[in-house]
Chains A and B, each alone.
Chain A
């Protein structure tokens, strides 16, 4: 467990939970990134600005963190582009069909004590573990 960073993970988690609380408390919205993004694809006037602002804030917040602390993510040199694209396709399709992702079901749904979200979270963690195992240990891709 040499890469384990419990303190920064906990601080980041508290900030994420705080942000989701702020959005629900002030604006009545669930901070589920896949649903916020998906709603943007329909582009309805009156329903798009808040989505753009939240996603813009997401990018700005990450930028701010990199400016202050560095530690910018680097691309993986040997990871095949087609495999990354295939993963993206499944993430997009699956989060649409399943009505949420790690933020919507994980952070917000569990916070609302939603049984649907608990089931979804357990399922995607298990299939995520299986897929990561297959990619890394059966096919040797990192």
Chain B
């Protein structure tokens, strides 16, 4: 119960932060990426603010043997720079630069949905599924297994 409530509160803070910083406005995000236009460095300040907190706080948090409310940390285990990371990040960036949405603001846009929300989110999910089902092995089972593996490891950013 306490764990559930704390996750909800963390999500709430995250969503509030995205909205208050203007990052739920695709045009503001594109105002940052469009460096040759009327450049808006706000996104850099959002990232700098967030990373300053995580870089300091995570050091202390990860020194603990376990989180406060559950038994263990779920951290990425993959190390090293590989092709999927590089190609995936490149493709993600192109989509981000086209649309002006990344997954966080896309989900947060459900707070005040427009036609953009109803186009972007289904396509985002379709992209997830296309990747999952195009994993080596290729059968429908392996796609589900790929999604399942992510569920188990809690993702590996």
Contacts and interface: CB of A to CB of B under 8 A. Distances in A.
Interface of A: 1-6, 8-39, 41-42, 44, 47-50, 53-66, 69, 71-76, 79, 81, 83-117, 119-121, 123-137, 142
A108 to B, nearest CB: 6
Contact of A58 (B14, B40, B76): B14
Contacts of B54: 17, 20-21, 107-108, 110-112
Given A13-B17, A131-B98, A73 B112 contact: yes
A88 B119 CA distance: 8
B53 A17 contact: yes
Q: Which of A73, A100, A112: most chain B Cβ within 10 A?
A: A73
Q: Is the contact region of chain A dominated by helix, strand, or loop, or is it mixed? A: helix
B18 A16 contact: yes
Contact of B21 (A8, A48, A84, A120): A8
Given A130-B97, A135-B97, A19 B51 contact: no
A93 B130 contact: yes
B20 A124 contact: no
Q: Is the contact region of chain B dominated by helix, strand, or loop, or is it mixed? A: helix
A84 B100 CA distance: 9
Q: Which of B33, B58, B89: most chain A Cβ within 10 A?
A: B89
Given A39-B150, A90-B91, A23 B127 contact: no
B127 A30 contact: no
Contacts of B70: 26-28
B66 interface: yes
A111 to B, nearest CB: 3
A94 B154 contact: no
